């Protein structure tokens, strides 16, 4: 009897509802925020524990800008063209002593063009640039300092330099400083050193400048991510032109070999539009053929266009000057020269004048050079020479001399001109006076 009760109890417990299991949240996470905000400067520098004023929340904003200069093709093309237009064909003067000096301005054998090209590149990329001035007995040297290594000192009278600001707390012994020009620090043998800080005015920024494209930082990152996305899709994309299913027996090892070969032969370069065969183990159904039409033409193409437009606008630039193709905007040389003149007057000329003004000041004050005619020779991207017909300005004899061709006799010259000026009706309008 008792055994029957136990059996009945077991049956009842079998059908009794078990308490529901409570799911536990084991972990959670958020997607990474890739937005690039413009940093705010520190308001109370007297509360800073370190001797420098940080540039960015992590003090690495210049490093971030340097990385962005290599992240997007449109952005990099504009930066390079800005530097090229700003430095032009280089510095020029008619003063012989000054002309000799600008060919070799420091102990590294660099010319003024070499040094200022780096300064200009930093200015456009990071909004800040640094030029060291070394004055000794009878000489003056100029050196460029990488803007990513420079920070303004807390006393605002010096610039501190460190090769790796991300590791500065562990290697503060590598910090070096230079007084801000016009103040000089004296060293042994009468040598004096100072540094010039080039930057533009920016409201609420008292210690550092900002690059003119700062409003497009997020768009530059988007352009970089679009390229990475499409590259990853291309490398890992599964792109067969058809899938054919066949009934067949296949072991697990054979199936794994098949998967590895399919991955190798159907993804990556030169592996699109191939046919994939699938052997289905024990399947007696009829063979099946699926034709795949690939109509993809790259992802985010519209977003790419919007992103490039925003980058170009932030730079105050015209894409034609940087070799950036825009549909329906291919202009002739005259149109490009007009665009070049506009960009020179609205974007390039102001920083040119700022740097030339400082160079003239230090070269005249500390070396006594005559700098009145020191200037940069601008170089437009195109000229109007292609629109000139040489035959309208030189004779046949002059042209043959230019190309080192043998001189013609009078009879040969007459025959050449007659042949050249024949018209379709057989008459001759030649003028052999040349």
Confirm if 222 and 228 have CB atoms less than 8 A apart: no
Pairing verdict, β 288-291 and 240-247: antiparallel
One digit per residue, the tens of pLDDT, for the chain of length 434 reads 555 555 555 555 555 555 555 555 445 444 455 556 788 999 889 899 999 999 999 999 999 999 999 999 999 999 999 999 999 999 999 999 999 999 999 999 999 999 999 999 999 999 999 999 999 999 999 999 999 999 999 999 999 999 999 999 999 999 999 999 999 999 998 999 999 999 999 999 999 999 999 999 999 999 998 888 777 766 666 556 566 565 566 677 776 787 677 667 666 555 555 555 666 665 556 556 565 665 555 557 888 889 999 999 999 999 888 777 665 555 678 888 999 999 999 999 999 999 999 999 999 999 999 999 999 999 999 876 666 777 777 787 887 888 888 888 888 888 877 877 764 344 545 454 44
Predicted local confidence at residue 409, as pLDDT: 86
Predicted local confidence at residue 141, as pLDDT: 98
E-strand stretches of 256-313: 274-280, 288-291
Predicted local confidence at residue 160, as pLDDT: 98
Residue 59 CA to chain centroid, in angstroms?
22
Token pair listed for 397: 């004899």
Name, in order, each residue with C-beta under 8 angstroms of 395's C-beta and a sequence gap of 6 or more: 434
- Domain range annotation of the chain: 36-214+305-382, 240-291, 389-434
The position carrying tokens 């998967």 is 259
CA-CA distance, 84 to 315, in Å (whole number)? 15
CA-CA distance, 191 to 85, in Å (whole number)? 35
Predicted local confidence at residue 87, as pLDDT: 97
Confirm if 202 and 209 have CB atoms less than 8 A apart: yes
CA-CA distance, 86 to 250, in Å (whole number)? 68
Predicted local confidence at residue 11, as pLDDT: 52
Specify the pTM. 0.74
Pairing verdict, β 139-145 and 128-136: antiparallel
E-strand stretches of 23-72: none
DSSP 166: G
Q: How many C-beta atoms surround the C-beta of residue 375 within 10 A?
A: 15
Q: How many C-beta atoms surround the C-beta of residue 381 within 10 A?
A: 16
CA-CA distance, 93 to 373, in Å (whole number)? 6
């Amino acid at each position: 009897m008792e055994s029957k009760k136990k059996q009945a109890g077991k049956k009842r417990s079998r059908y009794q509802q078990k308490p529901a299991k409570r799911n536990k949240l084991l972990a959670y996470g958020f997607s990474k925020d890739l937005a690039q905000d413009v940093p705010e400067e520190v308001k109370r520098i007297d509360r800073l524990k370190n001797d420098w004023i940080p540039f960015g929340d992590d003090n690495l904003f210049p490093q971030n800008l340097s990385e962005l200069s290599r992240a997007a093709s449109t952005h990099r093309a504009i930066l390079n063209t800005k530097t090229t237009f700003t430095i032009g064909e280089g510095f020029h003067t008619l003063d012989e002593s000054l002309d000799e000096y600008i060919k070799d301005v420091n102990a590294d054998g660099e010319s003024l063009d070499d040094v200022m090209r780096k300064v200009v590149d930093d200015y456009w990329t990071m909004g800040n640039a640094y030029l060291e001035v070394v004055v000794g007995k009878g000489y003056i040297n100029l050196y460029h300092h990488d803007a990513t290594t420079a920070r303004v000192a807390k006393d605002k009278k010096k610039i501190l330099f460190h090769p790796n600001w991300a590791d500065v707390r562990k290697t503060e012994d590598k910090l070096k400083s230079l007084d801000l020009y016009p103040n000089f620090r004296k060293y042994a043998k009468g040598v004096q050193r100072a540094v010039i800080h080039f930057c533009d005015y920016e409201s609420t920024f008292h210690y550092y400048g900002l690059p003119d494209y700062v409003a497009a930082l997020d768009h530059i990152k988007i352009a970089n991510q679009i390229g990475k996305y499409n590259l990853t899709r291309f490398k890992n994309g599964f792109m067969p032109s058809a899938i054919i299913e066949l009934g067949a027996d296949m072991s697990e090892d054979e199936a794994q070999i098949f998967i590895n070969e399919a991955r190798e032969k159907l993804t990556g370069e030169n592996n699109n539009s191939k046919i994939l065969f699938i052997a289905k183990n024990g399947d007696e159904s009829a063979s099946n053929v699926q034709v795949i039409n690939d109509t993809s033409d790259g992802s985010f193409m519209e977003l790419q266009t919007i992103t490039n437009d925003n980058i170009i606008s932030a730079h105050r630039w015209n894409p034609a000057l940087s070799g950036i193709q825009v549909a329906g905007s291919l202009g002739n040389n005259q149109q490009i020269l007009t665009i070049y003149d506009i960009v020179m007057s609205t974007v390039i000329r102001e920083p040119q004048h700022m740097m030339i003004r400082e160079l003239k000041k230090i070269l005249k004050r500390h070396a006594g050079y005559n700098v009145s005619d020191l200037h940069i020779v601008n170089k437009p991207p195109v000229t109007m020479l292609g629109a000139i017909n040489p035959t309208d300005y030189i004779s046949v004899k002059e042209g043959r001399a230019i190309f080192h061709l043998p001189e013609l006799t009078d009879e040969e010259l007459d025959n050449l001109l007659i042949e050249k000026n024949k018209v379709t009706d057989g008459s001759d309008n030649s003028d052999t006076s040349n």
